[in-house]
């Protein structure tokens, strides 16, 4: 299993949509065959159209607010010693997280296909908030499916979704988290695909959704490459890119433009949710060696029991609380291009505490997992090593959890 150079990773699948022959695919009911084929055809056309690319660039710049800042965390670097720590502050994008890129592109595509309605899933609430924002911007009616447990723990984003005029559909099945929200959203789409477009909130789902999402979030690494050249004159010789991994859209987008670099020069470190230290439950299928299974229309490493039933996950961060992971990351793991590890709830909270003590940065609990690993490794690395953490979400949504766990009011 090898990554090909000079071909975008989103295109390195076989004719059935599998990366490395076994991850991804498109396991869909017969009713979705036509809408999925139509979406594929439209996306494959639009992504090479100058007019569409200009439109994308216009909205990313003038509405999303790209490029997001690249900042040096000088105080944290000094405190830890060792490698230089930087942050790509993607949470400065309109709405407060990277989910805006995928949501914008899905709404633009929905408009081209003359759809009036758009639906989407959400865990942390950011994918839902961003889709509701983009739907409002482009004049689409929007429904967001969200697990009942997540509705309680991510209230600020739920309020934002409603304020944008979208309907929040609570999902009471299963663990009442992201996994159930995605299932329910896909079920709704099966019955309404004639009038309604669907946005999957991460690089998961049938292959076309993985590709659209990866293509959209790659804006992050496109910007980062330019910023690094501006700052250092060239891509640093020892660069390490840390990102949390739930479904895998922020990490894929943060790494994509560096795929062809040797991993000795540009290393990718994906940090999954290890869950509470005392619990056996986690959301880290890549780290803890889960088997391949089918979830949400794609083959991937997924937490499951010996009968192949999907395991319940547990994580303090709703955005990482997902039993599966993008086929793109399964491929990156098997080719050894990326390294994956997990941080516990407690590690993420400690990292949040340290980052906010030393810096004017307020990373949500998802990127706090990536900070935990960066903080652990930075002191062991040389001063000419550049660590960049994708600070892909703002912690305002985590206000209640942080107050409860740390007594800290943000
Ligand atoms: C701020 C933030 N970061 C990370 C994630 C994880 O998703 P992904 O791995 O697709 O970036 C989420 C998901 O909701 C999120 O809201």
Q: Are residues 358 and 287 in the same domain?
A: yes
How far, in Å, is the centroid of ligand 1 from the Cα of 125? 9
Nearest to 370 by CA among 287, 285, 270: 270
Last residue of a domain, one of 199, 214, 229: 214
Q: Are residues 235 and 374 in the same domain?
A: yes
Closest residue to atom 5 of ligand 1, CA basis: 319
CA atoms within 13 A on the CB side of 150: 38
How far, in Å, is the centroid of ligand 1 from the Cα of 319? 5
How far, in Å, is the centroid of ligand 1 from the Cα of 341? 16
Closest residue to atom 15 of ligand 1, CA basis: 319
- Please state the atom number of ligand 1 nearest to the C-alpha of residue 367: 3
Q: Whole-angstrom Cα distance, residue 273 to residue 364?
A: 13
pLDDT for position 223: 98
Across the chain, mean pLDDT equals: 98
Nearest to 367 by CA among 263, 261, 220: 220
How far, in Å, is the centroid of ligand 1 from the Cα of 246? 6
Q: What is the pLDDT of residues 291-323, one digit of tens each?
A: 999 999 999 999 999 999 999 999 999 999 999
Q: Whole-angstrom Cα distance, residue 28 to residue 296?
A: 9
| Cβ-proximal residues to 320 (8 Å cutoff; 6+ apart), any chain | 244, 245, 246, 272, 273, 283, 365, 366, 369
pLDDT for position 24: 98
pLDDT for position 286: 98
pLDDT for position 156: 97
Q: How confident is the model at residue 329 (pLDDT cuts 50, 70, 90)?
A: very high
Closest residue to atom 7 of ligand 1, CA basis: 246
Last residue of a domain, one of 188, 214, 240: 214
Pocket of ligand 1 (CB under 6 A): 97, 123-124, 126-127, 202, 244-251, 319-320, 364, 366-367, 392-393
- Please state the atom number of ligand 1 nearest to the C-alpha of residue 217: 11
Instruction: Say if 244 falls within a structural domain.
Output: yes
How far, in Å, is the centroid of ligand 1 from the Cα of 30? 30
Contact 348, 368 (CB under 8 A): yes
| Phi, psi for residue 196 in degrees, rounded to 5 | -120, 135
Last residue of a domain, one of 178, 196, 214: 214
Q: Are residues 129 and 244 in the same domain?
A: no
Nearest to 259 by CA among 329, 207, 342, 211: 329
- Please state the atom number of ligand 1 nearest to the C-alpha of residue 91: 1
Mutate to test the pocket of ligand 1, among 200, 250, 364 (most ligand atoms within 8 A of CB): 250
Q: Are residues 132 and 178 in the same domain?
A: yes
Instruction: Say if 49 falls within a structural domain.
Output: yes
Total domains in the fold of the chain: 2
Q: Are residues 279 and 400 in the same domain?
A: yes
Instruction: Say if 138 falls within a structural domain.
Output: yes
| 262: number of Cβ within 10 Å | 7
At residue 301, the 3 state secondary structure works out as strand
Q: Which CATH number fits the domain that encloses residue 111?
A: 3.40.50.1100
Closest residue to atom 13 of ligand 1, CA basis: 319
pLDDT of 408 over the 90 cut: no
pLDDT for position 1: 79
Q: What is the pLDDT of residues 235-285, one digit of tens each?
A: 999 999 999 999 999 999 999 999 999 999 999 999 999 999 999 999 999
How far, in Å, is the centroid of ligand 1 from the Cα of 99? 7
pLDDT of 215 over the 90 cut: yes
Q: Are residues 149 and 48 in the same domain?
A: yes
Q: Please state the separation of Cα 158 from the chain's center in Å.
A: 19
Instruction: Say if 19 falls within a structural domain.
Output: no
Q: What is the pLDDT of residues 85-136, one digit of tens each?
A: 999 999 999 999 999 999 999 999 999 999 999 999 999 999 999 999 999 9
Instruction: Say if 1 falls within a structural domain.
Output: no
pLDDT of 351 over the 90 cut: yes
Q: Whole-angstrom Cα distance, residue 352 to residue 355?
A: 5
Instruction: Say if 343 falls within a structural domain.
Output: yes
Q: Are residues 150 and 230 in the same domain?
A: no
| Phi, psi for residue 177 in degrees, rounded to 5 | -125, -160
Q: Are residues 209 and 183 in the same domain?
A: yes
Q: What is the pLDDT of residues 153-201, one digit of tens each?
A: 999 999 999 999 999 999 999 999 999 999 999 999 999 999 999 999 9
pLDDT for position 397: 96
Q: Are residues 185 and 277 in the same domain?
A: no
Instruction: Say if 125 falls within a structural domain.
Output: yes
Q: Whole-angstrom Cα distance, residue 20 to residue 324?
A: 17
What tokens does 194 get?
A: 């004639």
Instruction: Say if 45 falls within a structural domain.
Output: yes
* Interval 345-356 mean pLDDT: 98
pLDDT for position 310: 97
Give the DSSP letter of residue 142: E
| 377: number of Cβ within 10 Å | 18
* Interval 48-53 mean pLDDT: 98
Q: Are residues 379 and 339 in the same domain?
A: yes
Residues in the chain: 410
Domain of 322 in residue numbering reads as 66-96+219-406
How far, in Å, is the centroid of ligand 1 from the Cα of 233? 31
Instruction: Categorise residue 221: left if φ over 0, alpha if ψ from -120 to 50, beta otherwise.
Output: alpha
pLDDT of 409 over the 90 cut: no
Q: Please state the separation of Cα 57 from the chain's center in Å.
A: 20
Q: Are residues 236 and 107 in the same domain?
A: no
Mutate to test the pocket of ligand 1, among 246, 247, 321 (most ligand atoms within 8 A of CB): 246
Q: Are residues 35 and 73 in the same domain?
A: no
């Amino acid at each position: 299993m090898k990554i090909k150079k000079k071909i975008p990773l989103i295109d390195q699948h076989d004719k059935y949509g599998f990366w490395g022959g076994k991850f991804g695919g498109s396991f869909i009911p017969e009713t979705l065959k036509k809408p999925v084929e139509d979406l594929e055809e439209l996306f494959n056309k639009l992504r090479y159209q100058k007019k569409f690319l200009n439109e994308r660039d216009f909205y990313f710049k003038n509405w999303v607010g790209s490029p997001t800042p690249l900042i040096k965390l000088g105080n944290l670097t000094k405190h830890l010693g060792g490698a230089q720590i930087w942050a790509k502050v993607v949470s400065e994008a309109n709405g407060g997280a990277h989910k805006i890129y995928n949501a914008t592109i899905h709404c633009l595509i929905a408009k081209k296909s003359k759809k009036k309605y758009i639906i989407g899933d959400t865990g942390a609430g950011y994918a839902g908030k961003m889709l509701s924002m983009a739907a409002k911007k482009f004049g689409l009616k929007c429904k967001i499916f969200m697990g009942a447990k997540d509705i309680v723990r991510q209230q600020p984003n739920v309020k934002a979704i409603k304020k944008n005029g979208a309907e929040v559909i609570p999902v009471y099945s299963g663990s009442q988290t992201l996994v159930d929200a995605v299932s329910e959203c896909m079920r709704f789409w099966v019955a309404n695909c004639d009038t309604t477009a669907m946005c999957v909130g991460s690089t998961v789902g049938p292959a076309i959704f993985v590709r659209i999402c990866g293509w959209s979030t790659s804006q992050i690494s496109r910007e980062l490459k330019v910023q690094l050249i501006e700052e250092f004159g060239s891509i640093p010789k020892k660069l390490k890119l840390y990102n949390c991994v739930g479904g895998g859209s922020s990490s894929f987008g943060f790494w994509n433009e560096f795929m062809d670099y040797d991993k000795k020069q540009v290393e990718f470190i994906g940090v999954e949710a290890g869950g509470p230290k005392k619990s056996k439950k986690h959301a880290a299928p890549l780290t803890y060696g889960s088997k391949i299974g089918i979830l949400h229309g794609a083959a991937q490493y997924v937490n499951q029991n010996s009968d192949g039933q999907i395991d319940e996950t547990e994580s303090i961060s709703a955005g990482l609380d997902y039993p599966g992971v993008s086929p793109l990351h399964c491929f990156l793991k098997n080719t050894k291009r990326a390294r994956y590890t997990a941080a516990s709830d407690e590690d993420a909270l400690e990292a949040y505490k340290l980052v906010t003590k030393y810096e004017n940065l307020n990373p949500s609990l998802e990127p706090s997992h990536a900070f935990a690993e960066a903080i652990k490794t930075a002191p062991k690395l040389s001063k000419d090593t550049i660590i960049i953490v994708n600070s892909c979400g703002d912690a305002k949504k985590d206000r209640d959890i942080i107050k409860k766990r740390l007594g800290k009011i943000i």
